[in-house]
């Protein structure tokens, strides 16, 4: 079984650190995925016979690591999915992107259209057929003049396909290591990380917050002098 970093677990939910380059759920590659890894863990730990129930509430792109929550009961899955729908489910990301942002804080709004054949999204004009509104706000944590890279904290308001990657790339601030959308650092790990997740516990109704900062190695060494 693949290594699993469990951040929190009770009878209703399990919060884990998603590993980079591991799919959130099974895909056509047949590679081991987070859903399967966690099901194996639950089956072994609690000696459960038969199929283990585990609800997938949200996804992270395959190359992206960070915090994910899964539901251990159908009731928890239903209530967490409703939080996603009504935008009570809050996700924050860390990004290393190209160049210096024009403002230290800001909001980006675009209409995005996904090409199902190529699995790539692009910014389009409003009212384009099948396009969806994408909104995020950002704050610059650091600009490294020597590297010409910025570290951003991003609060995602909508969960569109490749949203952060597309919105930044469309403004010539592509994410470092993002080969799909033209980022510098070709062949490097994409510098996009889901570092914070806030939810309402599906049973206790308490707001709970989980945070995981990426290990400060490789591209993420740039975080060494930042307090997040």
Residue 206, classed as helix, strand or coil, is coil
Q: What pLDDT sits at residue 219?
A: 93
Low-confidence ranges of the chain (pLDDT < 50): none
Q: Superfamily for 6-216?
A: Pseudouridine synthase (3.30.2350.10)
Beta-strand relationship, 132-144 and 149-156: antiparallel
Beta strands in 53-104 (DSSP E): 55-56, 65-71, 90-98
**b/e burial code for range 143-174 (CB count within 10 A of at least 16 → b):** eeeeeebbbbbbebbeebbbbbbbbbbbeebb
Q: What pLDDT sits at residue 208?
A: 98
Q: What pLDDT sits at residue 142?
A: 97
Q: What pLDDT sits at residue 3?
A: 80
CB atoms within 10 A of CB 106: 13
Beta-strand relationship, 65-71 and 13-18: antiparallel
Q: What is the pTM of this model?
A: 0.93
The model's pLDDT over 148-203, given as tens digits with 9 standing for 90+, comes to 999 999 999 998 999 999 999 999 999 999 999 987 887 789 999 999 999 999 99
CA 99 – CA 109 distance, rounded (Å): 20
What amino acid positions are annotated as catalytic residues?
A: 61
Q: What pLDDT sits at residue 32?
A: 93
Nearest to 193 by CA among 161, 171, 166, 220: 220
Calculate the CA dihedral of residues 191, 35, 67, 96 and round it to 10 degrees: 10
Q: What pLDDT sits at residue 95?
A: 98
CB atoms within 10 A of CB 27: 10
């Amino acid at each position: 079984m693949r290594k699993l970093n469990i951040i929190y677990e009770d009878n209703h939910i399990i919060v884990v650190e998603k590993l980079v380059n591991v799919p959130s759920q099974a895909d056509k590659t047949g590679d081991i995925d987070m859903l399967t890894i966690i099901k194996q863990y639950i089956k072994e730990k609690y000696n459960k016979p038969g199929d283990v129930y585990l609800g997938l509430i949200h996804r992270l792109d395959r190359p992206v690591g960070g915090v994910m929550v899964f539901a251990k009961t159908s009731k928890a899955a239903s209530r967490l999915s409703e939080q996603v729908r009504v935008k009570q489910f809050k996700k924050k990301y860390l990004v290393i992107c190209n160049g210096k942002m024009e403002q230290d804080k800001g909001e980006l709004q675009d209409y995005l259209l996904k090409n199902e054949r190529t699995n790539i999204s692009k910014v389009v004009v409003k009212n384009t057929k099948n396009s969806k509104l994408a909104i995020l706000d950002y704050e610059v944590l650091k600009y490294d003049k020597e590297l010409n890279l910025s570290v951003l904290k991003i609060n995602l308001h909508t969960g569109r396909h490749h949203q952060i990657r597309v919105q930044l790339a469309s403004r010539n601030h592509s994410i470092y290591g993002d080969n799909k959308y033209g980022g510098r650092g070709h062949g490097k790990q994409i510098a996009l990380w889901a570092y914070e997740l806030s939810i309402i516990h599906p049973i206790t109704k308490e707001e709970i917050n989980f945070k995981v900062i990426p290990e400060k190695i490789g591209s993420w060494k740039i975080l060494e002098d930042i307090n997040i």
